[in-house]
Structure 1
Amino acid sequence: MLRIGLTGSIGMGKSTMAKLFAELGLPVNDADAVVHDLYSGEAALLVEAAFPGTVKDGVVDRQELGRQLSATPGGFKRLEEIVHPLVRKRESEFIAREREKGSVMVLLDIPLLFETGAEKRVDVIVVVTCDPQIQRSRVLARPNMTEEKFNAILARQTPDAEKRKRADYVIDTSFSIEAARERVAETVSDIKRRLANGEFEHA
């Protein structure tokens, strides 16, 4: 079974592109959705133990967590040590289920693919990109987002140019959704062609 890794920096449109891949029939494992689920489930108590006062009514308050993380040296590393193993476990369970169903390929939506070494777990890498000014305006339009937060997030992410260099496929979302949909379809079609030709070692 071929594992396609989808990634992209904040504001590039990765989540929207994951939906377009799903529309073409690819099973998608969304790491962001998994984290959201974990924050109201098995990760909540662990996060509260590491960052007291961040859990309200059994659910991690992302605003409060973000506030504590920005004030705590090494906070992000501690959070990653809690969350990443749980996310990996869910990803492994997803892959096992899809393999059992006989799926030919799956899409793993992994925001920190390069940052966490997840490129070793996939056969193909698709990077979502866009013009930096478009990225900036998208991100700053989000609720509670500031220039400072945006810059702090970018500082923790692999630069976009580096991601594009390491990609097998690049999808630019600077243009219309129709143009992006077309590029996603072309990408899937080419991956299927290469898969049929036996070009992927681990599939």
Structure 2
Amino acid sequence: MGLKRRPVIVGLTGSIGMGKSKISDKFRHLGVPVFDADAAVREVQGPGGVALPAIETEFPGTTGPSGVDRAKLGAAVFGKPDRLKRLERIVHPAVGRMQQRFLRRNRSRRMVVLDIPLLLEGEGWKHVDLVAVASAPFHVQRARVLARPGMTQEKFRNVLRHQTPDSVKRDLADVVIETGRGRLLTFRTVKSIVKAMR
């Protein structure tokens, strides 16, 4: 009896503004299923989200009919590591269950991508076959992030403080996907990963 084949799992990560979403779109374009951890967080915190009751209990007044009030919840945890940890203990298990359902649904595929911003900050990297890091020069990253609505220099610096530096992520990567040197290079790299994994 042959061994059951399972998908090759590519863990896609990268710091804020490095172009992970565009890379995920390219994987999808090539027929590869992608689990978007950020989208999963929005779902569990959105209207009717499974994490809402626990969030409201822990941080009263931060949720409503539309789900989490991002401004209120942000104010409750911003710059407060202990409160952020409490929030993560609510949200991460719910997202983890969604990820497991995604993997079960796609167990017959040749490869899947887990798009996880904090893959290298936690232990998610232990559960993937290949770590792909989205990367761009700092000036490109900075321009992208500061162009976002509501983003400030202070918020940008705070996010960077909580993320592993890009240079370290590049060193830990099995493959680096450049996103600041033209779309063609990015697409070629993604295509080469899909070809190799298949």
Q: C-alpha distance in 2, partners of 1:165/1:139? A: 23
**Residue 62, structure 1, aligned to residue 83, structure 2:** no
Q: C-alpha distance in 1, partners of 2:125/2:179? A: 22
Residue 182 of structure 2: aligned partner: 176
Cα deviation, residue 44, structure 1: 1.3
Q: C-alpha distance in 2, partners of 1:176/1:37? A: 32
Using the size of structure 1 for normalisation, the TM-score is 0.90
Q: Residue type of the partner of 2:153?
A: E
* 4+ residue runs over 4 A deviation: none
In the comparison of the two structures, how many residue pairs are matched?
190
Which whole-Å deviations, capped at 9, do the CAs of 1:25-66 have from their partners, x for residues lacking one?
101111011111101210111111111121121400112211
Q: C-alpha distance in 1, partners of 2:162/2:79? A: 15
Cα deviation, residue 171, structure 1: 0.5
Cα deviation, residue 89, structure 1: 0.8
SS state at 2:164 partner = coil
Q: C-alpha distance in 2, partners of 1:71/1:113? A: 21
**Residue 91, structure 1, aligned to residue 107, structure 2:** no
SS state at 1:137 partner = helix
Contact map agreement 1:44 1:58 (CA 8 A) in 2: no
Q: C-alpha distance in 2, partners of 1:71/1:116? A: 19
**Residue 109, structure 1, aligned to residue 115, structure 2:** yes
Cα-Cα RMSD? 1.2
Moved more, 147-156 or 170-179: 170-179
Using the size of structure 2 for normalisation, the TM-score is 0.92
Q: Unpaired segments of 5 or more residues in structure 1?
A: 193-203
Q: C-alpha distance in 2, partners of 1:91/1:138? A: 28
Residue 195 of structure 1: aligned partner: none
Residue 4 of structure 2: aligned partner: none
Among residues 25, 29, 39, which one is paired with 1:23 in the alignment?
Answer: 29
Q: C-alpha distance in 1, partners of 2:192/2:80? A: 44
